[in-house]
Structure formats: structure tokens, C-alpha cells
């Protein structure tokens, strides 16, 4: 007896899953942070989120947050969503440096539920964290000059890239050092924007890596 397979009626439905969360990112810089994030995302074996809209060289912090607002409004208009958060997050990535209107930018980001990855005084602090803790106060220029002696081929003006091959196996060390640095600044009662040196760049990485999220902790505004 031959068995005829049912060619109609009941059909196997494709497995359904929630779409990956999209992380939209607006960067102050054009090279250092965007290229690092791109290399980091490409290196992850497990995909838990995907990059969305990427804006490089957006300027000073308040301009960055204004651009975040524009992205949010465009997303809401195009998708007919009521709010951003379940399937999309928007991040602003910038340095404390010597920017004006910094606190205004932070307040505007909070009001709009955007997240900020902030390095104080600059992203070079994150570069240091791959190799060592950094507890002494230092200026932007001191951080840039010092990192040149640690990170292969790095030069703030000639080559402002963090060598990924050197960084890649030191990520967890950098995250732990960044977490320890924030705890140390809190113990010193050093409040933003005077919490030098510090960075929460690891919070952004944790969006794309569950293991880093465990070390880094949940994204939060408590640092500010």
C-alpha cells in the first residue's frame, strides 16, 4: 500500500520569532567609536541585536541629542508606532571633553528616553581600559598622548583607530575595568561631569552581547 502525503490542508508553519532589536547610534566622532562598534558587532557569534541608523560626526552633545530626536520622530512616523523601546533603542555616543551645554544635552536625552554612552574626558579612556584600570584624573590631551604608548598604531590625529586585533581578546577586561572605574568614582563622590576618568561605553556593547551585559549591568541613568 502506498501512502499519499497530504499536499493540501494542514501545512507546516514557519517558526516565528521576535525581530532583532535595532540599535540606532549617533556618534560625536567619525572614526574611533563607529569603527570600533562595527568591528565588535561583526565579531559576535550570536546575534541578539542589529545596528539601525548610524550617524557619524554629529557634533557637540546637544546637536547629537537633537539628531536622536529626529531619528525617533522619523521612526515613529514611518512605522506608525506609539513609542520607541521594544524593537528600537536610540543611543548617543560622545565625550565630555570641553563641550558646552552638556547638562542640557543629558536632560534632553533623559526626557526622550535615549541612552548615552559617555566617556570622560574622552573615548581614549575606554582604550586604556583594555589593558589597565585608570584612576588618576587626566585631561583629554594626556589621555590621547598616553594611549599612543599602549595601543598599537594609535595616534589621535594620524590614526584615531583602536586596533581591533589588539582589542578583541581584551574586551571583557575593558568592561570590568570600566565598571570598577564607575564604582571608584562613586566612592569618591565624584559626580558627573567631574567623574574623571570614567566611561560607560560598555553599556552600548552590552546591547549586542549578553555576556557583557552580565558584567556591565543593565543600562541605566544612575551614572548621571
Task: Break the chain into its structural domains and give their ranges.
Answer: 22-214
Render the burial of 179-218: b for 16+ CB within 10 Å, e for the rest: bebbebbeeeebebbebbbbbbbbbbbbbbbeebbebbee
Under the banding of pLDDT at 50, 70 and 90, the label for residue 221 is low
Contacts of 173 (CB under 8 A, 6+ apart): 129, 130, 131
Please compute the mean of the pLDDT values over residues 193-203 and round it to a whole number.
95
pTM: 0.89
Helices marked H in the chain: 32-43, 61-79, 102-111, 124-129, 140-148, 164-167, 171-187, 201-206, 210-216
The dihedral sign for the CA sequence 206, 30, 98, 171: positive
Residue 179 has pLDDT above 90, yes or no: yes
**Which cell is 97 given?**
571633553
CB atoms within 10 A of CB 101: 13
* Under 8 Å between Cβ of 35 and 102: no
Q: What is the pLDDT of residue 218?
A: 76
Residue 148 has pLDDT above 50, yes or no: yes
Under the banding of pLDDT at 50, 70 and 90, the label for residue 6 is very low
Amino acid at each position: 500500500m502506498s501512502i499519499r502525503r497530504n499536499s493540501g490542508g494542514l501545512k507546516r508553519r514557519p517558526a516565528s520569532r521576535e525581530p532583532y532589536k535595532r540599535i540606532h547610534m549617533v556618534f560625536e566622532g567619525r572614526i574611533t567609536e563607529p569603527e570600533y562598534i562595527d568591528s565588535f558587532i561583526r565579531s559576535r557569534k550570536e546575534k541578539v541585536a542589529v545596528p539601525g541608523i548610524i550617524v557619524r560626526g554629529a557634533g557637540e552633545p546637544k546637536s547629537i541629542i537633537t539628531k536622536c530626536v529626529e531619528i525617533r520622530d522619523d521612526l515613529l512616523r514611518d512605522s506608525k508606532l506609539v513609542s520607541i523601546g521594544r524593537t528600537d533603542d536610540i543611543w548617543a555616543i560622545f565625550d565630555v571633553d570641553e563641550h558646552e551645554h552638556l547638562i542640557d544635552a543629558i536632560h534632553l536625552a533623559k526626557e526622550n528616553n535615549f541612552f548615552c554612552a559617555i566617556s570622560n574626558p574622552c573615548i581614549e579612556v575606554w582604550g586604556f581600559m583594555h589593558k589597565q584600570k585608570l584612576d588618576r584624573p587626566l585631561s583629554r590631551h594626556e589621555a590621547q598622548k598616553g594611549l599612543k604608548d599602549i595601543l598599537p598604531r594609535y595616534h589621535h590625529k594620524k590614526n584615531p583607530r583602536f586596533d581591533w586585533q589588539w582589542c578583541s581578546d581584551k574586551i571583557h577586561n575593558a568592561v570590568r575595568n570600566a565598571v570598577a572605574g564607575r564604582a571608584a568614582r562613586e566612592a569618591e563622590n565624584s559626580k558627573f561631569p567631574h567623574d574623571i576618568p570614567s566611561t560607560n561605553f560598555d553599556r552600548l556593547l552590552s546591547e549586542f552581547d549578553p555576556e557583557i551585559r552580565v558584567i556591565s549591568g543593565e543600562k541605566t541613568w544612575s551614572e548621571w
